[in-house]
């Protein structure tokens, strides 16, 4: 791994870790502060996650693009592969490994900060066609949003727009919008408000992959030249070994 890819992958690891720390930590705090009101717990969790995501995009976006999501990275590679934009296959492998390990590390960090065992497998079952459909919708919407912003030259709005979308999707999807394979895996390591049972993870991952395919089809119809902007997803960042460091 070159210095440039190592630097970007470390940003993806840390950013994804802090995102999951925000999701899980806010869930733990919400359950403790509002133990009898699940709706308020969800609101507290959604607001904290949306704000943290926006801040993390601002923090790490100029380094790695702030993907924090294997689906976003995979679509970035796919759309840019023939144009020399976006991620290379080697970049994609580095990003995905960093995102998944970062997500697990983030769940462990949240548990330690709240005085819980570092790993407790979740017992929260999240399965069923309605939840899988929700994940398709949530993931497709997220991917279309980030590529639409890049293709239309509005990446400066990405921190607010992506944070707002995820915050809203907590409420308009029955799955509470995981929309991220790495985050889904990380949340299996915590038996808290934000957890997902390991047995439920494959269904969510499959639905998120379908959502990515739906997004690619939608982008082909609405933004047929989205691949030209792959270097600017989620925000502009270096993508080649010759890029300035």
Domain positions in the chain? 3-226
Q: Mean pLDDT score of the chain, rounded to an integer?
A: 95
The domain made up of 3-226 has a fold known as: Glycerol uptake facilitator protein (1.20.1080)
Pick the closest to residue 7 from 81, 60, 86, 59 (CA basis): 60
Each residue's pLDDT tens digit, 199-234: 999 999 999 999 999 999 999 999 999 999 998 898
State residue 243's pLDDT score.
46
Each residue's pLDDT tens digit, 92-129: 999 999 999 999 999 999 999 999 999 999 999 999 99
Output the pTM of the full model. Answer: 0.94
Q: Is the pLDDT of residue 242 over 90?
A: no
Bond from prior residue into 234 cis (ω within 30 degrees of 0)? yes
Q: How confident is the model at residue 244 (pLDDT cuts 50, 70, 90)?
A: very low
Please compute, for residue 93, the number of CA atoms within 13 A of its CA located in the half-sphere on the CB side.
3
Distance CA 167, CA 113 (A): 23
DSSP string spanning 158-190?
Answer: HHHHHHHHHHHHHHHSTT-----HHHHHHHTT-
Q: Hey, how many other C-beta atoms are within 10 angstroms of the C-beta on 90?
A: 12
Q: How confident is the model at residue 48 (pLDDT cuts 50, 70, 90)?
A: very high
Structure tokens at 76: 């970035």
Q: How confident is the model at residue 240 (pLDDT cuts 50, 70, 90)?
A: low
Q: Is the pLDDT of residue 60 over 80?
A: yes
State residue 215's pLDDT score.
98
């Amino acid at each position: 791994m070159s210095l440039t890819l190592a630097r970007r992958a470390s940003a993806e690891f840390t950013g994804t870790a802090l995102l999951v720390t925000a999701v899980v930590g806010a869930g733990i705090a919400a359950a403790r502060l509002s133990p009898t009101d699940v709706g308020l717990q969800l609101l507290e969790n959604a607001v904290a996650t949306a704000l943290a995501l926006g801040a993390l995009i601002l923090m790490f976006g100029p380094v790695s693009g702030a993907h924090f999501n294997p689906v976003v990275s995979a679509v970035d590679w796919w759309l840019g592969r023939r144009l020399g934009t976006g991620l290379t296959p080697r970049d994609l492998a580095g990003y995905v490994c960093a995102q998944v390990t970062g997500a697990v590390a983030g769940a462990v960090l949240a548990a330690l900060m709240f005085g819980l065992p570092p790993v407790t497998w979740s017992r929260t079952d999240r399965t069923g066609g309605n939840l899988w459909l929700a994940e398709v919708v949530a993931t497709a919407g997220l991917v279309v949003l980030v590529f639409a912003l890049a293709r239309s030259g509005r990446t400066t709005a990405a921190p607010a727009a992506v944070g707002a979308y995820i915050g809203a999707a907590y409420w308009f999807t029955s799955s509470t919008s995981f929309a991220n394979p790495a985050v889904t895996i990380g949340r299996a390591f915590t038996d808290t408000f934000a957890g997902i049972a390991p047995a439920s993870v494959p269904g969510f991952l499959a639905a998120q992959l379908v959502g990515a395919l739906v997004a690619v089809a939608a982008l082909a119809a609405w933004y047929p030249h989205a691949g030209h902007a792959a270097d600017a997803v989620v925000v502009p960042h270096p993508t080649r070994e010759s890029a300035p460091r």
